[in-house]
Chains A and B, each alone.
Chain A
């Protein structure tokens, strides 16, 4: 078994001609001006594979300009697997991402420094001093291993949260660049049996992280069959530059054959053209370059087409996730990935708002809904992200889970089978022959098979918006459940063999 997500009839923003034009534009960009590459190995690999590589001399950082021919891009796209398995500690939670199947799974994302807690405080009404009113009060805490573990625990118990992409940056005093990777992966894996994905901080920790995952998965072979972790590599700095450090990480991860996301995040209006065709063609060129590199290093490396196109807020040049263009760019990228048959890692569900509320709900619901309907195989950013991906809020994650549940209902395919018409006729005839004229009896099986949606999960009881309070109750309920930790004997083996793990993580 694998997590099924939701299969959608895809919304197509671009028609076939527009897709062909974007592809053509991307190829022209790759031919001229090409990609600036700051990584020597990558430049050599592309040169050996038929790309024109121009060495740029006299600059502070050595770099090369890659002019990649379409033929090479096409060959490497063909070499990339069209179906990628992301494994899980509990194999029932694995994800089979098929680039041609518009089945959407939802994941968290970003690596926020801030953790937003909500308290409910009582206030006295000025107009009616006898009346007490509850109000949510928010405060920001620093992300740490304990909070990352809490987020993973929450992920384990939320139905729509299919994969745990570490949403919190661990900033404990004991954490440094050399032990960050093993601790973030362990804190995550120890608290969720779903797939865990994260970026790599230090290249020298790659083998420790993979070894840890192999121990937890049951050995090297088991890990190959059931890769319980994967990596995100942001090797592109937009516009059109391959960064030395992250490109090297991509190369090393590809050599080891572990699934990886080739991600790019240009910003329309600053690091990419603001016009739709421009940013989409650019990000497409950037991602295809990364995918080509991974395949040239190790043909058949499982990769996801990682599209994170944003739009600049023209008041401050911050990202702006609440604007319609964010959704439009992302839908286009989903279509481009499908055009190549590659599984797509897309982005949706973030708000510019700093705290949960009306603005946050409106902003995230539009991208959650529209991008889901486009049919990406893996939608990251979908849980708890506030303030343009710089804050993770667990109460918001609980709300997101409920809202994604509604969107899944919205996206559900119509169910017309051979038996539907005779069944409906039979029901109608029976009801019309009854005194009550009610169809409720026939809703019973649909209620149980989840064919119909329940009422809003956090409905208010009184004449005030109590949604956040209800969500907080649900959060508290989940966090009171015992975590599903890694088996003790395996955890001990991990602690014996993997250097740098913090002892405090043994029990959290």
Chain B
């Protein structure tokens, strides 16, 4: 019974289905329970959270990664699966401590002041959630002080800053400076991304890293997390 449920969670991660309304890659899946409904059922049945995460979510996501590497899956498939895992992790979060699972880390993410573009930030959020991180998304057009206050309040391990415009990327440097002025710079690793920024820009403004796309952002967080 437990095994069947975990297998279903795993399969639905592979299919990228968050809720029962979602289509999968195979025909006729809409209407059947998807990851969130199945995880709710598993929690109701007191199935070990570790088992849900390791054998259901992570195992499913590993298969998705392999399919992507093999050219069988595309980025929308990765995002759909990551979204499903992210939604499941949100449901499981209150149960992690009592199951003895150490959270992977918290990431605060925002598009900087003056910039309304948030597609890139949203993709990074989905992928980080899919990788098991807790993501607190502040939104777009976020002024520097709001970001500083949120870092103080949320005490995240990471801060992700995004900008699409050459006219707004300067706010990244201002945010880093403001965090330093508030004595918070060393408490958080700062990563940046967005079309106009680069590795060289990241170094110049004193960020800890730069990701050219969502996948690089996840890899960057993973590498900084273990550093």
Cβ B126 vs Cβ A447 within 8 A: no
Q: Does B44 reach chain A (CB closer than 8 Å)?
A: no
**Which chain A residues border B83 with CB–CB below 8 Å?**
436, 441
CA separation between A92 and B76, bound complex, in Å?
A: 33
- Interface members, chain A 243-261 (any B CB < 8 Å): none
Contact of B16 among A437, A438, A444 (CB under 8 A): A444
| Interface presence of B36 (CB below 8 A) | no
Q: Shortest CB–CB separation between residue B93 and chain A, in angstroms? A: 16
Measured as residues with beta carbon below 8 angstroms from the partner, the interface class of chain B is 10 to 19
Residues on the A chain within 8 Å of B122, using CB = 435-438
Roughly how many angstroms separate A364 CA and B54 CA in the complex, as a whole number? Answer: 54
Which of B18-26, B173-181, B202-210 lies at the interface? B18-26
Query: How distant is the Cα of A125 from the Cα of B212 in the complex, in angstroms?
Result: 30
Interface of B is mostly: helix
Complex Cα distance, B223 from A347, in Å, reads 56
Residues of A within 8 A of B (CB): 430, 435-438, 440-441, 443-445, 447-448
Cβ contacts under 8 Å, B35 to chain A: none
B1-36 vs A, Cβ < 8 Å mask (1 yes, 0 no): 000000000000000100001110100000000000
Q: A interface, by DSSP: helix, strand, loop or mixed?
A: helix
In the bound assembly, the distance between CA atoms of A491 and B119 in angstroms comes to 59
Contacts of B79 in A (CB 8 A): 438, 440-441
In the bound assembly, the distance between CA atoms of A62 and B123 in angstroms comes to: 79
Q: Are B137 and A447 in contact (CB under 8 A)?
A: no
Which residue of the partner chain B has the closest CB to A430?
B21
Distance in angstroms between the alpha carbons of A447 and B78 in the assembled complex: 13
Could you jot down 10 A-B contacts, CB within 8 Å? A430-B21, A436-B122, A436-B126, A438-B119, A440-B79, A441-B76, A443-B76, A444-B76, A445-B23, A445-B25
Q: What are the residues of chain A within 8 A of B126 when measuring CB–CB?
A: 436, 438
Number of A-B pairs whose CB atoms are under 8 Å? 39
Q: Decide yes or no whether B77 CB sits under 8 A from chain A.
A: yes
Closest to A444 in B: B76
Residues on B with C-beta less than 8 A from A437 are 118-119, 122
Within the assembled complex, what's the spacing in Å between the Cα atoms of A448 and B125? 25
* Complex CA–CA separation, A430 to B21 (angstroms): 10
Given contacts A436-B126, A438-B119, contact A444 B21 (CB under 8 A): no
A447 touches B76 (CB 8 A): yes
7 closest A-B pairs (Cβ-Cβ)?
Answer: A440-B76, A436-B122, A443-B76, A441-B80, A444-B76, A440-B79, A447-B74
Q: Which residues of B contact A (CB under 8 A)?
A: 16, 21-23, 25, 74-77, 79-80, 83, 118-119, 122-123, 125-126, 137
Contact of B77 among A435, A438, A444 (CB under 8 A): A444
Question: Separation in Å of the A455 CB from the closest CB of chain B?
Answer: 11
Other A-B contacts than A438-B126, A440-B80, A441-B79, 4 sampled, CB-CB below 8 A, are A430-B21, A435-B137, A444-B76, A444-B77
Chain B minimum-CB-distance residue to A426:
B21
Chain A residues lying within 8 Å of B119, measured Cβ to Cβ, are 437-438
Please indicate the chain B residues that have their CB under 8 angstroms from the CB of A438 in the complex. 79, 119, 122-123, 126
B23: chain A residues at CB < 8 Å are 444-445
B74 CB contacts on chain A under 8 angstroms: 444, 447
Q: Give B76's nearest chain A residue, CB to CB.
A: A440
Interchain nearest-CB distance for B46 vs A (Å): 30
Q: In the complex the two chains form, is B125's CB within 8 Å of A444's CB?
A: no
Chain B residues near A445 (CB, 8 Å)? 23, 25
- Please tell me if the beta carbons of A448 and B76 are within 8 angstroms of each other in the complex: no
> How far is it, in angstroms, between the C-alpha of A438 and the C-alpha of B76 when the chains are bound?
10
Nearest residue (CB) in A for B137 is A435
- Provide the residues of chain B in CB contact with A436, threshold 8 Å: 83, 122-123, 125-126
Smallest CB-CB separation from B24: which chain A residue? A444
Evaluate contact between B75 and A448: CB separation under 8 angstroms.
Answer: no
Look across to chain A and name the residue whose beta carbon is closest to the beta carbon of B22. Answer: A441
Taking a contact as CB atoms under 8 Å apart, the answer to whether B25 and A448 are in contact is yes
Contact A444 B137 (CB under 8 A): no
Nearest residue, chain A, Cβ from B139: A435
CA distance A440 to B75 in the complex (A): 8
- Give the distance to chain B from A441, nearest Cβ to Cβ, in Å: 5
CA distance A437 to B75 in the complex (A): 16
Contacts of A440 in B (CB 8 A): 75-76, 79-80
Q: Which residues of B contact A448 (CB under 8 A)?
A: 25
Q: Which residues of A contact B76 (CB under 8 A)?
A: 440-441, 443-444, 447
Q: Shortest distance in angstroms between A304's beta carbon and chain B's nearest beta carbon?
A: 39
* A448–B23 alpha-carbon span in the complex (Å): 14
| CB-CB nearest in chain B for A446 | B76
B25:A444 contact, CB within 8 angstroms: yes
How far apart sit A441 and B125, CA to CA, in the bound complex (Å)?
15
